[in-house]
Amino acid sequence: MVMEVANGRLASVRPDPESPFSLGYACAKGLATPELMYHPSRLLAPLKRVGERGAGSWKVVGWDEALGEIAAALRAIKDQHGAREIALGQGTARHHYCHVRRFANQLGTPNWYEPGLANCFLPRVTASYFTYGGLLVGDFYGATPPRTVVIWGCNPVVSNPDGKLGFRVRDALRGGAFGIAVDPRRSETARLCDLWLPVRPGTDAALALAMCHVIIAERLYDEAFVQKWTVGFDELARHLAAFSPAWASKVTGIPAEDIDRAARRYATAGPAAIEWGVAIDQNVNSFQTARALCILRALTGNIDNPGGEIFGESRLRSYPLQRTGLNKAAVKGRLGANDFKLLGGPAAIVPSAHIPALFRAMRTGEPHPIRALLTFGNNPLLTVANASDVREALARLELFVAVDMFLTPSAALADYVLPAAFWPELDQVSELPAFAPLAVVAQHRVVRTGQCRSDEEIIDELARRMGLPGSDKAVGEILNHRLEPLNVTFEDMKETPTRFYPPRYSRYREQGFATPSGKVELLSQSLARLGYDSLPTYREPPESPVSSPAATRTFPYVLTTGMRRAEYFHSEQRQSARMRKRRPEPVAELHPETAAANTVRNRDWVVIRSPRGAIKMRAHVSTNIVPGVVAVEHGWWFPEQGPGGDAFASNANVLTADGPPYDPAMGSYQLRGLLCSVERLREDDPLNGRD
């Protein structure tokens, strides 16, 4: 972005036409930066709670008082009960991601979390590492475009996570690539595709296995690549024999002939790329679903080749996470690590506490209490499943500190709220896309607002006050340390803030794959040694029309949550008048048949119920969703209603569940494919009038 500063204020932002990575594109949220930065409800000074928790009574305090009291409270908990009873939480894909993890290690607590991980991205990353030793991304960056693009459980036209750039996918589809969309909705991206596979939410693994079945049965696989660069093909072929398109059609609801067509197109019209998304992760078979898709890529040889799937290259030194601060004894206190080895155990790529176990410990004290929680850019009331239990958990904390730009529903329950800097007000270096980097991007602070501080500055000051190891190293030193391999300093990066490195191909031919065998592991002995299936299979979601037929009498429809909009990032940007004008209300999408069966008309307010609770949303009746499925947006609250902003009226996580069964490897829980009902909002409904 190009930022214009006048009289110490950010006057405008616009996309940088000279950026070799983003090529002059920007999203609506980025363009709204000045509005959010100077919004009248933005927090500009530290707040301390003076009344009952959640009552909205605060006083403005100085940084010295706030940080001194917080540091003293953390030190007392650590000394009396142990660091494991302090938890740290943060939002997804943030500049401070590694710095919060570093702070957890400095404190000596293993109980750090981020609401994605088990239910967003980490199952795909972990499956990729076990299969071929790294994460692949679609090659929309080189000179050869993909001929076939599979859009699986994502919507890149409106949602661009982890540094991926959806406009490149959009342009490939518009430029003639054959698109295959796997989604119960014909999303904005799916409408650009040639074949729509409206999968029943939560059954993606069945479809992936059936496509692999077709490719092997019809000998459409890349025989030379499979023979030389994979292990376990014969075992895989025998394993897949039962997963035919006819079988998968009964499970997924997709006609068998369309499964055949998709598999043949993907296998024979290469190079081909799979753009996969969060829908894959948000069920109790997340890891093996991702494994099946990894194998689909490998069978067709669409790995490390132009226009197919590519590995990025990290060019920076890894972030100094201060791992020595977390000894083996402390790691044993990580909640959920023993149950979910690939989430929190020694084999985990980003070791994390299991969120349901963490919030359960806050509520019940089992297996040990969580007494303090510090959140950084994280709004758990809106972004963690089972919102009612989350509220109870937050209410029981001895110390709750929220670092944020606004008084969110979660921050409104805190003891201290510390004002966070916005992106033009901080320094940081990122490699993008995440886990498969092709670019190094430096962000330099250009303005300051009020008393706002970056999360890193807040963390470092707390660490110094507590005398934690590594607290003498400032953020600037860390950035320069990371940049040393490029022979530049952070200051040097002001001249060229984005450095793009075009992809290199076929590196595996010289160095193999970063797996124990040096090859793509279709059958994974490493997973078998950890007690997990060495080959992927299918598990029916625990709450579905198939597994819970009795419940369908009350909840006859399939619910999928998390529908994305270009105007919002999770629960953010609801303060923006510009964004709210474009997307003023929460929306539930349903097919005309579903609407007619419940006397719902387009634009009616409707109530969606699940076994956990009820919310209201505005109905969008459309043929772009299959009958019997209801899709709801997530992250909705109403800042105009004041502190708290009614976090429950339209919050999708009122409907979701965080209970078992979980994915055996990752601990993922079911956020899609749940059961629900839908009806017009009655005048006497308690939800009427709440917004």
Q: Please identify, among 470, 500, 530, the residue that sits at the C-terminal boundary of a domain.
A: 500
Omega prior to 485 cis, within 30 of 0: no
The answer to whether residues 160 and 281 belong to one domain is yes
Neighbour count for residue 556 (Cβ, 10 Å): 16
Residue 526 parent element (H or E): helix 525-529
- Cα 127 from Cα 149, distance rounded (Å): 20
Largest CA distance in the chain: 70
- 35 domain-assigned: no
How many domains is the chain built from? 3
Is residue 10 within 8 Å of 30, Cβ to Cβ? no
- 366 domain-assigned: yes
* Type of residue numbered 477: E
Residue 195 parent element (H or E): strand 195-197
The answer to whether residues 253 and 188 belong to one domain is yes
- 195 domain-assigned: yes
What pLDDT score does 3 carry? 94
Is residue 284 within 8 Å of 123, Cβ to Cβ? no
The answer to whether residues 75 and 194 belong to one domain is no
The answer to whether residues 159 and 101 belong to one domain is no
What pLDDT score does 644 carry? 77
The answer to whether residues 276 and 386 belong to one domain is no
Burial 629-665 (b: 16+ CB within 10 A, else e): bbbbbbbbbbbeeebbbbbbbbbbbbbbbbeeebbbb
- Cα 665 from Cα 476, distance rounded (Å): 37
The answer to whether residues 259 and 392 belong to one domain is no
Residue 11 parent element (H or E): strand 9-14
- Cα 206 from Cα 26, distance rounded (Å): 36
In this structure, what CATH number is given to the domain that contains residue 427?
A: 3.40.50.740
Q: Cα separations (Å) of 237 from 156, 207, 537?
A: 33, 16, 13
- Cα 211 from Cα 261, distance rounded (Å): 9
In this structure, what CATH number is given to the domain that contains residue 676?
A: 2.40.40.20
- 13 domain-assigned: no
The answer to whether residues 154 and 296 belong to one domain is yes
Burial 143-163 (b: 16+ CB within 10 A, else e): eebbbbbbbbbbbbbbbbbbb
- Cα 568 from Cα 635, distance rounded (Å): 8
The answer to whether residues 478 and 620 belong to one domain is no
The answer to whether residues 342 and 471 belong to one domain is yes
- Cα 224 from Cα 467, distance rounded (Å): 58
The answer to whether residues 379 and 440 belong to one domain is yes
Question: How many CA atoms within 13 Å lie on the side-chain side of 379?
Answer: 24
Range of the domain at 413: 42-117+328-500
The answer to whether residues 59 and 198 belong to one domain is no
- 169 domain-assigned: yes
Residue 244 tokens, joined? 């035919």
Residue 414 tokens, joined? 């805190």
- Cα 363 from Cα 202, distance rounded (Å): 29
Mean per-residue pLDDT pooled into runs of 10, the chain (691 residues): 95 94 92 96 97 93 98 98 97 89 97 92 97 97 96 94 89 97 97 98 98 98 98 98 98 98 98 97 97 98 96 96 88 94 95 97 97 97 95 97 97 98 96 95 96 98 96 94 97 93 95 97 98 97 97 98 93 95 97 98 97 97 98 96 88 96 97 97 85 60
In this structure, what CATH number is given to the domain that contains residue 281?
A: 3.40.228.10
What pLDDT score does 81 carry? 97
- 653 domain-assigned: yes
Is residue 106 within 8 Å of 497, Cβ to Cβ? no
Burial 173-202 (b: 16+ CB within 10 A, else e): beeebbbbbbbbbbbbbbebbebbbbbbbb
What pLDDT score does 325 carry? 83
| Spacing of C-alpha 107 from chain mean position | 25
Neighbour count for residue 8 (Cβ, 10 Å): 9
- 15 domain-assigned: no
Q: Please identify, among 282, 309, 336, the residue that sits at the C-terminal boundary of a domain.
A: 309
Q: Please identify, among 464, 481, 500, the residue that sits at the C-terminal boundary of a domain.
A: 500
The answer to whether residues 97 and 54 belong to one domain is yes
- 291 domain-assigned: yes
